[in-house]
Amino acid sequence: MSTQPLYTRAPMPIAGTSTQANREGGVRIIDVVKMYGTQDTGVLAVDHCTFDVPAGEITVVVGPSGCGKTTLLNAIAGFHSLSSGSIYLDNEMLCGPGKLKAEPGPDRIVVFQNGALFPWKTNIENVAFGPIMQGYMTRKEAFEKARGMMADAGLHGIESNFPGEISSGVRRRVEIVRALMTDPKILLLDEPYRALDSLTKSVMHEALLEIFYKNRVTIFFITHDLEEAIFLGHRLVIMTTRPCKPKKILDIDIPHPRDYSVLTTKRFREFMEETAAAVHEEATKAFAAGEKER
């Protein structure tokens, strides 16, 4: 555990960005337990998990595949209920005793592992979907805003295409823009770049950081790629294999804004060295456990 709980700490200054730091979207996860099935025969997915996701920062959760980190994300998003514990968003309880399942809502938008742009809607219809559904914008207003936001993200010219017509990397960017359309407090990214090849991935990382510097939206990012985690994150949470709980939490003090030159710095390698053993150990355990199950 880190020495002090950093739920709402002073935001880290980012050189070269004038945007006011976001003080919203901090998530506090307190003693969360999630059990699938019944008490006796069930599988423990999340085991007394406690940590903070500071507002206006990128928190990256790293753990072996299938360790239960997605379960945690689903609980924040409101797709799954908890068995016990509680989760707060900006001092408001999302779920906890008496209300074990949060309501999904536009303040916490998920970007899914395999992408969830609606293939039957054009890209701009996808981006404009949230405000239109919530009814606070007319179709025309929403399209206007969507067009502007897509242009800002370098996605001009594909508005009337369908998601099936663009590359998977671009699709991911459209999906993130769709998430930002509704001004969420926190973005929940569930291994969004898993299916991309490593070259596309590196482009996507910088694009994500660029979006983050512009919007300063709080980001909760799940991955099993340690390099990606250190490159993107302000805060790194290394999870144990199933049942998942934080094994090591550390703050990455490499200054933002970052670009790909960070990967070759000494500090970056120090972080890799500091964490690689812990991640590897869990991966080995997960692998061994997988072998036993079969």
Q: How far apart are CB 259 and another protein at their closest, in Å?
A: 19
- Round to whole Å and give the CA distance between 128 and 163: 14
The residue whose two tokens read 């799954």 is: 80
User: What ranges make up the beta strands (E) of the chain?
Assistant: 27-36, 43-53, 58-62, 84-89, 92-95, 108-111, 186-190, 218-223, 235-239, 246-251
Q: Which is nearer to another protein, 197 or 274 (CB)?
A: 197
Write the DSSP symbol of residue 52: E
The residue whose two tokens read 């998601």 is: 163
Q: Which is nearer to another protein, 116 or 278 (CB)?
A: 116
- Round to whole Å and give the CA distance between 89 and 169: 30
Q: How far apart are CB 174 and another protein at their closest, in Å?
A: 12
Q: Which is nearer to another protein, 136 or 287 (CB)?
A: 136
Q: How far apart are CB 187 and another protein at their closest, in Å?
A: 11
According to DSSP, the residues that pair with 288 across neighbouring strands are none
Q: How far apart are CB 25 and another protein at their closest, in Å?
A: 15
Q: List residues near another protein by CB under 8 A.
A: 77, 79, 104-106, 108-110, 112-116, 118-122, 129-130, 133-134, 160, 162-165, 178, 182, 199
Assess contact for 230 and 236: CB atoms under 8 A.
yes
- Round to whole Å and give the CA distance between 195 and 111: 13
Q: How far apart are CB 151 and another protein at their closest, in Å?
A: 15
Q: Which is nearer to another protein, 108 or 235 (CB)?
A: 108
Q: Which is nearer to another protein, 50 or 122 (CB)?
A: 122
Phi first, then psi: what are they for 243, rounded to 5°? Answer: -75, 145
Q: Which is nearer to another protein, 7 or 162 (CB)?
A: 162
Q: How far apart are CB 271 and another protein at their closest, in Å?
A: 25
Assess contact for 280 and 224: CB atoms under 8 A.
no
- Round to whole Å and give the CA distance between 267 and 83: 40
Q: Which is nearer to another protein, 45 or 279 (CB)?
A: 45
Q: How far apart are CB 30 and another protein at their closest, in Å?
A: 23
- Round to whole Å and give the CA distance between 46 and 48: 7
User: Tokens at residue 241, please?
Assistant: 């294999």
